[in-house]
Structure 1
Amino acid sequence: MVNAKFIALRYLIIPTKQTPVEKYLEDIEKPDEYYPETPEGKRKLFEDTFLKEVLEYKRYKSEYAILGVYPITKDRYIGKLAKKMKRNEDIRKGDDTIKQELEIHPPCEFICDLKTQVFGLRKRSIVFDSEKAVSELLSEMASSRTLSYGYVVKFEPIPDKQAFWKVINGAKHIHSVKFTLNAPNLLGSDEECKDSLRNLKSRFNITAVDVKLENNEGSLKISEKEPVITHYVNYTEFGQGNWTVETDKNKFISSSDKIFTVTEDAKNFGDVANGIVDKMNENANKTPENNGDKNEPETIHPEDQETLL
């Protein structure tokens, strides 16, 4: 048994005005007809470009790849995010010992739920050093494929529910609170907040809004009874933004520091993957309202599985 922590992320698929300059599916001449700006179109785009194609990516001096992806239900895929590394090992040849450089690819298992856009990823420091770093990496990897179709993908950590209020209630001083709210991208998040952001998006073509409340003396008043704050918190808890609290001067706590995690046996990942993402969906304000009934996911049997990468 190998106990491992899996972090909860949510990805957003955001239209961009950049003109498509490259097509990754050679047989598609008019990508807009195949990937319209609808939930179904964006889902198909992400599935085709991130989960069904070989994806290798170089970031700074490191190389990464999405490997071994296959469906376990009609809406869920499991796979691995791997990092290319080199390691020196002592190799015996007769009476001599020589050093030989070997290439290794340590993986992080993941499960992706296409319905809720929740992405559960095993936490391994050998592959990534922080939740923020891996969110940026995955965003860049996915966007490298979707940008040519007029979309970018943004991965956001999903904070542990009630983490914000635990920070607020446990702080002696609060100097500032900042919310970054991404433009509406999912059904099921806080409706009032989403409606306000949708209005701003239609008027100004925004992709995100920053809201900052500040008191230089550290006596900022933040209450659960204040509807506006509650809407912002609910929105970020759903994985559509982030928050940062300054409790003491220059001491910051962010939603990325309070990411929701699930501990499971990584050795039997295929058997526990559905349970991992179910817990993540429950934490992130449960399944979005457009997902229909809450029956068990339709399982694809092993004989029907096909390795896609």
Structure 2
Amino acid sequence: MDALPKKITVSASQLLTLPFLFVLCFLFTPLHIQAARAEPSDIVVNKTMTSFSKIPGMTKRELEYGRQVIEQMNYNSQRITRHISLLPGANFGQCKEIWAMLESKKASFDQILAFEQWVKLPDATMPLAVQVLETIRDLTREEVKCLRAFLGISKQRADAILSLIPPIVAMEPSGNFASRKMFAVRGITAEQALDNLSIIEKFTDKQAWVYAAFAETKRMDARTVTDALPLFLQLRDDAAWNMRTLIKKDKLNRNAAWRWLISYFAHPVQVQEKQYYRYDGRERTQLLDAFYAAGEELVWTINSLHAVSDEYGMEISSSSLQAMPKEDLQRLFAKLSQ
């Protein structure tokens, strides 16, 4: 028979000794180690105050007020304060306005990074910063990614961002994604990018996804990515999905993707059928392989037909689906793609 474990007893004096040892450890810890936790906060505050104190025309009272506010700020708000304090036109009144804004709704780290990109533009000013920051705070993560890609375009004016925000906010996430890829194309200007948004905002999800893949192809340039927009807008969803698969699967470059777009995918079905027989064997195989790879999504859509409910919210049975005329099945199929 196994021996019972020994009972461990702890005396009252031993219990009292433990807290005492912790106190001793703290008391004899070198002061510079105890202060280490406070140092980063002090360093950040002092760094922020150095920037804030450079705002021209401030009184001692305003400077002291600023210190009290800054000492209570989180790290992100201090970063913003440092940047706005060094902008042309910086003044105490608009600093207070921005502080109140940050207090009412904290900015995320991604939003801070976007704002820091913006303040580097040559004509960024404090009055404009108030508008920009107020707008950035309300953006979703996808919209902020889109904004940051736009801010990567060279030679843009600081107020261009105000023209960018409304269309990207109105877009679906797929439109934001397509816009982001378009902004990253070599040589595109801010004016071109903003003009292109008027078409991208009309894209379906699949049109946006294939356009994003097109914009990412090797050696893509501003002219091609702009000229292609109306063609992508007229793509059927199935054609868009097939073309995206072809681009991704075969790693097409700009010229190859453009040729497939204008010679096949941008045409109606009857033209595509004729064009197919004009291709050589290698091109036909390439196209059929893309159709096969893209077909998995179509199979899932067909397989999900039973998940469409009737007007009473009840799932439609397999027998009902089998008995349906083609027109009704097509209507249900279209409903899944909405």
Q: Please say whether Structure 1 and Structure 2 have the same fold, judged by a TM-score greater than 0.5.
A: no
Higher relative contact order (CA 8 A, sep 6+): 1
Q: Which has the higher strand share?
A: 1
Normalised by the size of structure 1, how large is the TM-score? 0.22
Q: Which has the higher helix share?
A: 2
The structure that has the greater radius of gyration is 2
